[in-house]
C-alpha cells in the first residue's frame, strides 16, 4: 500500500539513521563525501532540501561548525530528531514541501539534497530547480546525492508503476506518496540545466548513487 510521504518517514523514524548508515550508505561513504563538497567558510549559508534527521549535517558540522543551515522537510518528527542532535547550531527548520516553500533570492552559498528528490518527476523538478538556482548567490552551487535509474526504461517503468498503484488504490489527491521514481542522470542533468544552472558535473558514484554538482 502506498503511504503518504510524511507518514511513511514518521513511521520509520526509529531505526532510520541506522538503516541509512548501514543499508543505504555502504560504509558511510556518500554522506561524508557530500558534506566535504560544501563550503568551509565561516557562517556559510546552506539550504538542505529534504534534510530529514540531518545525516549529511552530522558530517558537515565538524567541517564547518558555524554554518547556517536552512532545512526543509515535510516530516515534522524527522525535523525534531534533527534539532535534538545539534544544540547550539544555527538551524532554521521549515516543515513544508520544498515545492511550495519560497526561497530567498541570492541568499545561499550552496544547497544540498541527499536521498530525497528521487520521488519526483522531471516536470516537477524544473520549477523547483529554477527557484533553487535563483536562491543561490553568484558562484553558488547545488550538491545532489541521490540514486538514479540506470536506463530510460527503468525510469519510465517506475513512473508508470506509481500511476498504476495510485489508480489501483483509488488515490485521487495530489498529495505526495512514498514511491521511488528515480530519473536517469541524463534527465536529472537536463532538469537542472532547464532550471537555470550553467553546468552539471558528476563528482562521484557508488553503484546507482551519484553525487552531482550543479553550478549557478
Ligand X SMILES: C[S@@+](CC[C@H](N)C(=O)[O-])C[C@H]1O[C@@H](n2cnc3c(N)ncnc32)[C@H](O)[C@@H]1O
> Which residues of the shown chain bind ligand X in the complex (CB under 6 A)?
5-6, 9, 20, 50-53, 55-56, 72-75, 78, 97-99, 114-116, 119, 176
Taking a C-beta distance cutoff of 8 angstroms, is the pair 72, 2 a contact? no
Q: Which residues contact 124 (CB under 8 A, 6 or more apart)?
A: 99
- Is the Cβ of residue 44 or residue 81 nearer to ligand X in the bound state? 81
Taking a C-beta distance cutoff of 8 angstroms, is the pair 40, 63 a contact? yes
- Is the Cβ of residue 198 or residue 205 nearer to ligand X in the bound state? 205
Alpha-carbon gap, residue 6 to 122, rounded angstroms: 21
Give me the residue whose beta carbon is nearest to ligand X.
52
Nearest 5 degrees, angle CA 129-CA 76-CA 115? 45
Closest distance to ligand X from the beta carbon of 9 (Å): 5
- Is the Cβ of residue 25 or residue 155 nearer to ligand X in the bound state? 25
Residue 93's SS3 state is: strand
Closest distance to ligand X from the beta carbon of 108 (Å): 16
Set of cell numbers at residue 143: 550538491
- Is the Cβ of residue 47 or residue 199 nearer to ligand X in the bound state? 47
- Is the Cβ of residue 74 or residue 149 nearer to ligand X in the bound state? 74
Pairing outcome for strands 68-73 and 90-95: parallel
Closest distance to ligand X from the beta carbon of 176 (Å): 5
Closest distance to ligand X from the beta carbon of 53 (Å): 6
Residues counted in the chain: 216
Closest distance to ligand X from the beta carbon of 169 (Å): 19
Amino acid at each position: 500500500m502506498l503511504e503518504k510521504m510524511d507518514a511513511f518517514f514518521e513511521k520509520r523514524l526509529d531505526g532510520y539513521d541506522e538503516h541509512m548508515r548501514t543499508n543505504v550508505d555502504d560504509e558511510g561513504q556518500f554522506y561524508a563525501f557530500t558534506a566535504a563538497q560544501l563550503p568551509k567558510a565561516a557562517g556559510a549559508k546552506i539550504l538542505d532540501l529534504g534534510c530529514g534527521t540531518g545525516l549529511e549535517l552530522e558530517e558537515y558540522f565538524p567541517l564547518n561548525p558555524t554554518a547556517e543551515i536552512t532545512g526543509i522537510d515535510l516530516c515534522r518528527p524527522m525535523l525534531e530528531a534533527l534539532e535534538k542532535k545539534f544544540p547550539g547550531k544555527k538551524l532554521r527548520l521549515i516543515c513544508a514541501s520544498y515545492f511550495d516553500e519560497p526561497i530567498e533570492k541570492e541568499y545561499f552559498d550552496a544547497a544540498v539534497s541527499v536521498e530525497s528528490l528521487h520521488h519526483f518527476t522531471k516536470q516537477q523538478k524544473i520549477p523547483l530547480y529554477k527557484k533553487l538556482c535563483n536562491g543561490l548567490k553568484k558562484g553558488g552551487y547545488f550538491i545532489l546525492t541521490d540514486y538514479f535509474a540506470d536506463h530510460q526504461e527503468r525510469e519510465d517503468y517506475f513512473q508508470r508503476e506509481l500511476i498504476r498503484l495510485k489508480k489501483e488504490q483509488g488515490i485521487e489527491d495530489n498529495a505526495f506518496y512514498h514511491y521511488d521514481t528515480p530519473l536517469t542522470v541524463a534527465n536529472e542533468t537536463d532538469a537542472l540545466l532547464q532550471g537555470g544552472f550553467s553546468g552539471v558535473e558528476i563528482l562521484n558514484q557508488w553503484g546507482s548513487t551519484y553525487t552531482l554538482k550543479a553550478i549557478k
